[in-house]
Amino acid sequence: MTDQTNRFLEIAAPGIANLKPYVPGKPISELERELGITDSVKLASNENPLGCSENAKAAMQGELSDSARYPDGGGFELSKALAAKHGVDAGCITLGNGSNDVLDMIARVFLSPGYESLFSQHAFAVYPISSQAVGVTLKIAPAVNYGHDLEAMLNMVGEKTRVVWVANPNNPTGTWLNGEELENFIAAIPQNVIVVVDEAYIEYVDEEDYPDASQWLSKYPNLIVTRTFSKAYGLASLRVGYGLSHPDIADLLNRVRQPFNVNSMAQAAALAALEDQDFIQSSIDMNRAGMEQLVTGFAEMGLSYIPSVGNFVTVDVGRPVEEVGQALLREGCIGRPVANYGLPNHLRITVGLEEENARFLSAMKKVLDK
Ligand SMILES: *Cc1c(COP(=O)(O)O)cnc(C)c1O
């Protein structure tokens, strides 16, 4: 339904008219239903191809018998474990139904019409969606080499700016910022402007000067760091993530947080997953090898790609990506065209298992005639 034909648009809140729904990766079941096939490969949503920790599965099972009960609305055990992990007080933690939920709480608490939300070109789609939903003005800084241009962003901070969003590394580009440049940026932002550093892929990053921004929380009270269990921890379906911030910010976020936003299975699984760092290490090792396999394959096909420190890589297919994406679907391969991120010729591919990567590369060779 287009906006012109939606009879309730006139009474919708400002900002909703220009909002486009988030486009998720195509589910495997949907593609297989459409094509009548059974062996498709989905490398479209930056999920962990190894699944999740066995301990997390056992913890989920353990919660089944209590399904009739509401979860612990305060997430006591999980918050306590996260606080210990980060060396902060439990009052600094805000639990989310995925970290997107925390991003949305930030928008609802700090953004309103007449003010500005600032992020980079090619930045993660939830920043504009959550911002637009609350009717704030969007400010989009041009990217540099597909990544955040912090100087350009800083120059765009004005009196009306309330929230600045930085993804480190960024999705869908995989680009990253080092500790020095990011901290200088945060230090230069006025204290009455919230800086969000989204670290959804931090576990995968293996760069010496890549920063864990949570170490700066006590220095910059206007900083919010977000983390998720959806990526390296392999718990995307359970929806659990969290924010780390000054307790005064967490207090405000918790005022808009829906009661029981993180279900019992998610809380138990996240808690168990945190303790299984061996699983995280195997995920990192597999990712490193798979990334090498993918970029070597791209180079052999003469395709350029955006160097990525995450569990995905975005490749220039040299022609409109929508048709390439469709052709790959017919080969049973689901990637993520990122034209909606201002990258009309780029396809984002999640690092999969060795055989999945190989399958994807050969489908690309066929479709692109390389
Ligand atoms: C995947 C992702 C998230 C979080 O997703 P949740 O599943 O809601 O935790 C947040 N930020 C970025 C940049 C992502 O790619």
- Give 249-293 pLDDT, tens digit per residue: 999 999 999 999 999 999 999 999 999 999 999 999 999 999 999
Ligand 1 centroid to residue 363 C-alpha, Å: 27
- Write out residues with Cβ below 6 Å of ligand 1: 46, 98-100, 124, 167, 171, 198, 200, 228, 230-231, 236, 241
Tens of pLDDT, residues 297-328: 999 999 999 999 999 999 999 999 999 999 99
Average pLDDT, the chain: 96
Ligand 1 centroid to residue 125 C-alpha, Å: 10
Domains of the chain: 23-51+278-369 (3.90.1150.10), 54-275 (3.40.640.10)
Return the number of other C-beta atoms located less than 10 Å from residue 300's C-beta. Answer: 11
Q: How confident is the model at residue 1 (pLDDT cuts 50, 70, 90)?
A: very low
Tens of pLDDT, residues 214-258: 999 999 999 999 999 999 999 999 999 999 999 999 999 999 999
Closest CA to 257 of 61, 87, 79, 117: 79
Give me the phi and psi of 140, to 5 degrees please. -115, 115
> From the alpha carbon of 169, which atom of ligand 1 is closest?
13
Ligand 1 centroid to residue 113 C-alpha, Å: 25
Closest CA to 263 of 105, 64, 9, 57: 64
Percentage of residues of the chain with pLDDT beyond 90: 90
Closest CA to 315 of 345, 285, 339: 345
pTM: 0.96
- Choose one of 95, 99, 197 to mutate for the ligand 1 pocket test, by most ligand atoms within 8 angstroms of C-beta: 99
Ligand 1 centroid to residue 100 C-alpha, Å: 6
